[in-house]
Amino acid sequence: MSKKILITGGAGFIGSHVVRLFVNNYPDYRIFNLDALTYAGNLENLTDVESSENYTFLKGDITDDEYIKSIFETHQFDGVIHLAAESHVDRSISDPLAFAKTNILGTMILLNSFKNLWQNNWEGKLFYHVSTDEVYGTLGDTGLFTETTSYDPNSPYSASKASSDHFVRAYGETYKIPYVISNCSNNYGANQFPEKLIPLFINNIINNKSLPVYGDGKYTRDWLYVDDHASAIDLVFHKGIMRGTYNIGGFNEWQNIDLIKLLCQQMDEKLGREKGESEKLITYVKDRPGHDLRYAIDASKINKELGWEPSVTFEQGLSKTIDWYLANEEWMSNIINGDYLKYYEKQYS
């Protein structure tokens, strides 16, 4: 085995796609997936790779310093791809401390163990921190986030991710750890937990439940198919310039209400419903506090330096995503248990 790679948060949405890509494409790497299996972690996301020879699952919490030290000592990871996080903005509004603990403290504990293990023997080593475009705050009607846009986070989630990015950079400057950071826009695709806009609305349409649109629905996001994010992470991990940052995005801006209408149209067709049927479920509800108006990524650096670009159009990616959810109703019904229902009641009642 030529490299030992620790992927954190590999049982979550994006992490599971990254784990699958690395396990399948790099048989000579040993891939360790560390995940605490919080409400968002689900080993069902990885049943197709769980018995692969080069894959090991470690159940553990990135905020548990002793445990993290022990796995670094035992396994001597050459590379870390760090995705574990509390990731949902609405939850960060109701429980900000949980976000500080996991996203800031957890990242520092990983950085510390990585630094202490290698003690300046940095040849062939890399700490890759997966972050978000939300650290840049909000755009007005024009402009794009570039790698040099100032950080200006508005939610407890984005503030915790911004802070973790700063710690990664600080460990790079102070202790010289080799790192890369990427800041990506909104992902969608298979296995996304149904608290995020697209899977939540797919599930509600299937069940004829109302579609809760925050505010006037005119907020804009830049959507990227999850496998395209995973392929960008692969490229940045292998070819990214050390101590660099890369913005990753879909060149694909949608106002929420237009996206929701497209989703409703595709769902009507796939469910054999009358045209316009699902749109009737749209309900405007109270806005998210501190709601960022618009995110849009300038992904020209990763495009020019590493040749990366998205592989699917939004219409194709959305159609594939809906097909996945329709074919995997059991995956959804296993999630929609007591805890999910309690969250849903609290958030949308």
> Catalytic amino acids?
133-134, 157
Planar angle of CA 172, 178, 179, nearest 5 degrees: 80
**Rounded to an integer, what distance in angstroms lies between the CA atom of residue 157 and that of residue 99?**
6
Q: Which of 63, 102, 247, 256 binds ligand DAU (CB under 6 A)?
A: 256
Which residues, 130 to 189, sit near ligand DAU by CB under 6 A? 132-134, 185-186
Q: How many residues bind ligand DAU (CB under 6 A)?
A: 19
CB of residue 89 vs ligand DAU: minimum separation in angstroms? 4
Q: Which of 33, 42, 63, 87 binds ligand DAU (CB under 6 A)?
A: 87
**Rounded to an integer, what distance in angstroms lies between the CA atom of residue 223 and that of residue 258?**
13
**Rounded to an integer, what distance in angstroms lies between the CA atom of residue 16 and that of residue 45?**
6
Q: Rg of the Cα trace of the chain?
A: 20
Per-residue b or e along 59-74, where b marks 16 or more CB atoms closer than 10 Å to that residue's CB: ebbbbebebbeebbee
Mark 124-153 with x for binding to ligand NAD (rule: CB under 6 A) and - for no binding. Answer: ------x-x---------------------
* CA dist 212 → 80, 171, 216, 276 (Å): 38, 42, 11, 17
Candidates 52-60, 114-122, 196-204, 224-232: pick the segment binding ligand DAU (CB under 6 A). Answer: 196-204
Interacting partner of 295 out of ligand DAU, ligand NAD, none (Cβ under 5 to 8 A depending on kind): ligand DAU
Q: Are 136 and 183 in contact (CB under 8 A)?
A: yes
Task: Give the closest residue to 3 by CA, choosing from 25, 27, 30.
Answer: 30
Mark 17-46 with x for binding to ligand NAD (rule: CB under 6 A) and - for no binding. Answer: ------------------xxxx-xx-----
Q: Which amino acid is at 334?
A: N
Which residues, 220 to 279, sit near ligand NAD by CB under 6 A? none
Mark 198-217 with x for binding to ligand DAU (rule: CB under 6 A) and - for no binding. Answer: --x-----------xxx---
**Rounded to an integer, what distance in angstroms lies between the CA atom of residue 18 and that of residue 31?**
10
Which residues, 119 to 138, sit near ligand DAU by CB under 6 A? 132-134
Which residues, 46 to 105, sit near ligand NAD by CB under 6 A? 61-63, 83-87, 102
DSSP 155: S
Candidates 68-76, 84-92, 240-248, 327-335: pick the segment binding ligand DAU (CB under 6 A). Answer: 84-92
Dihedral, CA of residue 207, residue 208, residue 214 and residue 215, to nearest 10: 180
Interacting partner of 256 out of ligand NAD, ligand DAU, none (Cβ under 5 to 8 A depending on kind): ligand DAU
Interacting partner of 213 out of ligand DAU, ligand NAD, none (Cβ under 5 to 8 A depending on kind): ligand DAU
CB of residue 123 vs ligand NAD: minimum separation in angstroms? 27
Binding site for ligand DAU (CB under 6 A): 87-89, 132-134, 185-186, 196-197, 200, 212-214, 219, 221, 256, 288, 295
Binding site for ligand NAD (CB under 6 A): 8-9, 11-15, 35-38, 40-41, 61-63, 83-87, 102, 106, 130, 132, 161, 184, 186-187, 193
